[in-house]
Amino acid sequence: MATIKDVAKLAGVAVSTASYALNGTKKISDSTKQKVITAAKELNYQKNGYAMDLKMNKTKIIALILSDLIGPFYSELIQGVQEVVMEHGYDLIVCSSYGDESSTAAKFLREKRADGVILFAHNIETQLIQDSVRKGFPIVVLDRDLSDYEDIISVNVNNEHGSYIAAKYLIDQGSKNIAFVSGPKKSIDSQLRLEGFKRALKEHNLPYYSKWNINGKFTKDGGYQATKMLIHQGQLPDAVFYANDEMAIGGIEALKENHIDIPNQVSVIGFDDIQLAPYIQPPLTTVKQPKYEMGKLSSHLIFQVLEGEDVQNFYSLETEMIIRDSVQRSF
């Protein structure tokens, strides 16, 4: 591969001249400029990205790190981020945190392979995030509250409250025996949703049975398996609250297989409001997370930091109840 040196040599000028000509950094006589450009074309010269990054100490890349590239949850988030990133003339890359400490995510964070990072990956340890903090390297976390660390910006959704509202809705519609299918133990989001659920139960003097709290994996299959367990336990609840929509969809499948009518025998409620939610049968009642707004806000914050502005390091966003047909209505 041709380097700028080769170009300069072929054009018969010095390296710096070639650099100026190619980048338009400085006025260069038109004739020399032409010579350089012709030489570059002839050699099919392409600048080496790594070298420039090293020299400039910046990439103009923002990295969005997700625990799962393939989940349907993220598309709106990505869209929000992408719009802002592009407006600023930066590039966006998305990578997965699959593999925990040895993941792509860890590499990008630790080795600062982007100018800023937005993180939505429950499997990344807080310690790793802290270790990656550097001056002028904005990090936004979406799935936990790290506002104790002033160099990390936390943008959170009020999971506890959203979950409380959902549980309250279930209770208001007449449910008394509600099962809760959690996500991964490590997920703070899932923990907070369970807490909101418990609070609603308590406030309405309804007992919480731990046998009705099953763990899933935030995937369709996780919800399916958890629901099967629930069914095999014998006594059916009159409602199931899934900590995310994907699990709810898997759950609905399991329920249908066992000829359990939704919502007449069992009400189902989810969390997230993914794009699929309105399409399944029955259309899923759920709690909408402001995913697009999260994306926009997070990336705005990144650029504010990059431009040297002071920003708060904690933001909280509210959820919204989306009522469809998977919960039996009492009126």
Partner DNA sequence: CTGTTAGCGCCTTCAC
Partner DNA sequence: GTGAAGGCGCTAACAG
The DSSP bridge partners found for residue 156 are 316
Kindly tell me which of 110 and 202 has the beta carbon lying closer to a second copy: 110
Q: Are 28 and 21 in contact (CB under 8 A)?
A: yes
Q: Are 53 and 59 in contact (CB under 8 A)?
A: yes
Residue 213 contact partner, candidates DNA, a second copy, none, CB within 5 to 8 A by sort of partner: none
Residue 147 contact partner, candidates DNA, a second copy, none, CB within 5 to 8 A by sort of partner: none
- What gap in Å lies between CA 293 and CA 280, rounded to an integer? 25
Least CB distance to a second copy at residue 279 (A): 5
CA atoms within 13 A on the CB side of 310: 1
Kindly tell me which of 2 and 171 has the beta carbon lying closer to a second copy: 2
Q: Are 326 and 168 in contact (CB under 8 A)?
A: no
Pick one of 41, 51, 235, 261: the residue that binds DNA (CB under 7 A).
51
Kindly tell me which of 35 and 296 has the beta carbon lying closer to DNA: 35
- What gap in Å lies between CA 302 and CA 137, rounded to an integer? 9
The Cα-based distances of 241 to 141, 153, 163, 170 in angstroms read 26, 30, 9, 9
Kindly tell me which of 160 and 272 has the beta carbon lying closer to a second copy: 272
Residue 23 contact partner, candidates a second copy, DNA, none, CB within 5 to 8 A by sort of partner: DNA
Least CB distance to DNA at residue 292 (A): 35
Helix axes 159-172, 188-203, angle to 10 degrees: 40
Each residue 6-45 as x (binds DNA by CB under 7 A) or -, in order, gives ------xxxxxx-xx-xx-xxxxx-xx------------x
Kindly tell me which of 50 and 331 has the beta carbon lying closer to a second copy: 50
Least CB distance to DNA at residue 61 (A): 16
Q: Is 47 one of the binding residues for DNA (CB under 7 A)?
A: yes
The Cα-based distances of 315 to 144, 147, 157, 189, 301 in angstroms read 11, 9, 8, 15, 10
Binding site for a second copy (CB under 8 A): 1, 44, 46-54, 57, 59, 61, 63, 69-72, 75-76, 78-79, 82, 86, 91-96, 98-99, 103-104, 107-108, 110-113, 131-132, 134-135, 275-276, 279-281
